[in-house]
Amino acid sequence: MSCVLVVDDEPQIRRTLATNLRARSFEVVLASTGEEALMLAATRPPDVVILDLGLPGIDGITVIERLREHSKVPIIVLSVRENEADKVRALDVGADDYVIKPFGMDELLARLRAALRRNTPQADTPVIEGDRLQVDLHTKQVRVDGEPVHLTRIEWSLVEVLVRNAGRLVTSRELLQQVWGPQYGTETNYLRVYMTQLRRKLESNPARPRHFLTETGMGYRFVP
């Protein structure tokens, strides 16, 4: 049974999440402050954390930083803060995903399951297949409807980073630094240009992508 640590100072949010998670056979641990969350995480290390940023005492950003000093537990931020700077900061210090309140329970649960899957050790899967798309990480080949698609070096590098993090939100800074180098981090116009090119080559409808999704103000996500 997977353990979920829910950290939120709103009693109604805690109750709603606890009820829905327990109904789906999750063990649930509840905290209303950052200090309590850190104590509980040390006592009973959770499998995933759902965390509000606006906490009394130690705030959510500090909780993420403290957890990241010793743990790789998936952290899903649940916040009313829609400001791009807040999203980027949370992701940069170590959050894995960011969900805006009010939220849909089905979407949150789907993201929680995805986070747990990504954190489960698995044998290397060199070939990722979608409905029309096939990506072979070993041979560095991409096919659409069985036909090979030529990608430039930069295009392939973007695909590889996103595919290796399938389902996970990859921040713009993270993509820029992994593909272009550690001195990059703010040149988001590079990403917009190349992601447009990738979608034209790999998506059946580039205007409504199925696999290479934009998370506005945060980054990109690959969905097989």
State how many domains the chain has: 2
Segments of the chain scoring below 70 in pLDDT: 119-125
Stated pTM of the model: 0.67
Longest dimension (CA), the chain: 56
Query: Which residue, of 118, 142, 168, is where some domain finishes?
Result: 118
What's the domain range around 149?
Answer: 127-222
| Pair (113, 24) in one structural domain | yes
Given this model, what pLDDT does residue 198 score?
Answer: 94
Alpha carbon distance 48, 58 (integer Å) = 19
Backbone angles phi, psi at 133, to 5 degrees: -105, 135
* pLDDT value at residue 124: 56
Tokens of 90: 């949370």
